[in-house]
Amino acid sequence: MNRVNIYRSVPKEHTAVPNLFIDEYMAESNDAQLKIYLFLIRMLNANLPTSIADIADKFNYTEKDVLRALTYWEARQLLSLDYDAAHNLSGIQIRSLEQLSDAPRTAPQITPVLSFVRQPDAAQEQLPDAPRTAMPDEADKPARPEYSLDDLKRFKSNEEAAQLLMVAEQYVGRQLTRSDMETVLFLYDRLGFSADLIDYLMQHCVERGKKDFRYMEKVALSWHEQGITTPRDAQGASRKYDKIVYTIMKSLGKNAVPAPKELEYINKWTREYGFLLDVIQEACDKTVMTTDSHRFAYADGILSKWYQAGVHHKSDIALADAAHKQSAQAYGARSKNDTSVTKNRFNNFSQNTYDFDQLEQNILSN
């Protein structure tokens, strides 16, 4: 019997795209981001060199478009970008998606796009009649002033500011409104944010699906309170916050990206209540052992009681729980001795007295 050859009906040279990329990353990327990532895989498989200029020429993009796409994929940890001492892009490492599937998503090292398009030694032009940085005696949360049309015209005439507005339009994918420009001016003028930090701020928010400038302003005020002045500072704060979010989600048995309501709970526990992570994890552990549903709401009930009891550290929990148990027992004793209930045809039978605080305490103690 003759041998049967088995062969492919496609050319030998082809570029394989991981299924995980198609399933989880492709739908969220825009045309430029998708093209550039696939082109990088093609160059990698063929062991061919490329450059920012080559990619820009091939797809008729600007170099800033290419850099923005690269930082987008770096933010999703599909790429690692290397820079030389002169802050020039020197290498692109394409990371394995399989290694990322079970790893926490943390904030990457991102270099704002504006760093590549400005002369590094050029003097920064000051806005006419506008203080560049906040004065020491200003409030911790400076309010956005009412900017006149002349203020906006002066702002747009500043070369660095005009470039910043152009980048902002590309991030949000539309023309900026007057309110949008006033927000950017507020960050630049009153909060004293550098163009690089504003660039990073917009990228940080857009990558999280937030293109509203009011949201960006809230994040900026939070960074201002924390003393964040550089993209590196912001990156460190984001990495720390992302780690906390990931840990809390895992502690509650959840592997998905947190929903907005879940983030509200996390922000409440970490920022409003000021709990340390180990205290939150203790509440999560009690929650998981008690219920399979509505875990965030249940954990919030525990942490709210601890907050009201003055819990600050994990060592305070046992004392707070003991005080709550003693109070619940005293309440139960008073209820048992209360014989003032009038007998009638509705209650003229043996009744069970349920102490719901005590029941909850018993559940939490298990």
CA 134 from centre of chain:
26
Q: Show Cβ contacts of residue 62 under 8 Å, excluding neighbours closer than 6 positions.
A: 56
Under DSSP, is residue 225 helix (H, G, I), strand (E, B) or coil?
Answer: helix
pLDDT > 70 in the chain, percent = 73
**Other CB atoms within 10 A of residue 158 CB:** 20
Say if residues 162 and 156 touch (Cβ distance below 8 Å): yes
pLDDT for the residue numbered 290: 92
212 SS3 class: coil
Cα–Cα distances in Å, from 102 out to 33, 97, 130?
24, 10, 49
Which segment of 196-210, 285-299, 323-337 scores lowest on mean pLDDT? 323-337
Residue 22: DSSP 8-state = I
- Per-residue confidence band for 284, with pLDDT thresholds at 50, 70 and 90: very high
Smallest Cα–Cα separation from 316: which of 290, 278, 287, 357?
278
Give residue-wise pLDDT tens across range 316-366. Answer: 888 888 877 777 676 666 666 665 544 554 444 444 443 445 545 544 554
Specify the higher pLDDT residue, 351 or 291: 291
Question: What pLDDT digit, counting tens, does each position of 22-61 carry?
Answer: 888 888 788 888 999 999 988 888 888 888 888 888 888 8
DSSP assignment of 281-318 equals HHHHHHHHTT-SSSHHHHHHHHHHHHHHTT--SGGGHH
pLDDT in tens, 143-201: 788 888 888 888 888 888 888 888 888 888 888 999 999 999 999 988 889 888 999 89
Q: Which helix (H) or strand (E) holds 319?
A: helix 317-337
The whole-number pLDDT of residue 134 equals 38
CA pair distance 50, 43, nearest whole angstrom: 7
Tell me the average pLDDT across 268-291.
Answer: 90
CA-based nearest residue to 363, from 310, 324, 312, 309: 324
Give helix 149-157 / helix 178-189 axis angle, nearest 10°. Answer: 70
Q: Give pLDDT, residue 143.
A: 78
pLDDT reported for residue 112? 46
Q: How confident is the model at residue 122 (pLDDT cuts 50, 70, 90)?
A: very low
pLDDT for 332: 65
For residue 259, pLDDT over 60 is answered with yes
Q: 261-272 pLDDT, tens per residue?
A: 888 899 899 878
pLDDT at 131 over 50: no
Residue 297's pLDDT band, with cuts at 50, 70 and 90, is very high
Nearest to 320 by CA among 309, 328, 307: 309
Packing angle, helices 63-75 and 31-45, rounded to 10 = 80
CA–CA gap between residue 45 and residue 15 (Å, rounded):
7
Which domains, from first to last, does the chain contain? Answer: 19-103 (1.10.10.10), 117-234 (no CATH), 252-336+351-365 (no CATH)
> Nearest-5° angle of CA 221, CA 209, CA 244?
65
Q: What is the pLDDT of residue 287?
A: 94
> In the prediction, which pLDDT does 233 show?
85
Q: What average pLDDT does the segment 225-239 reach?
A: 83
More confident position, 105 or 38: 38
The dihedral built from the CA positions of residue 57, 60, 65 and 70, taken in this order, carries a sign that is: negative
The C-alpha atoms of residue 27 and residue 31 are separated, in whole angstroms, by 10
Measure the CA–CA gap between 313 and 203, rounded to whole angstroms. Answer: 35
Q: What is the pTM of this model?
A: 0.44
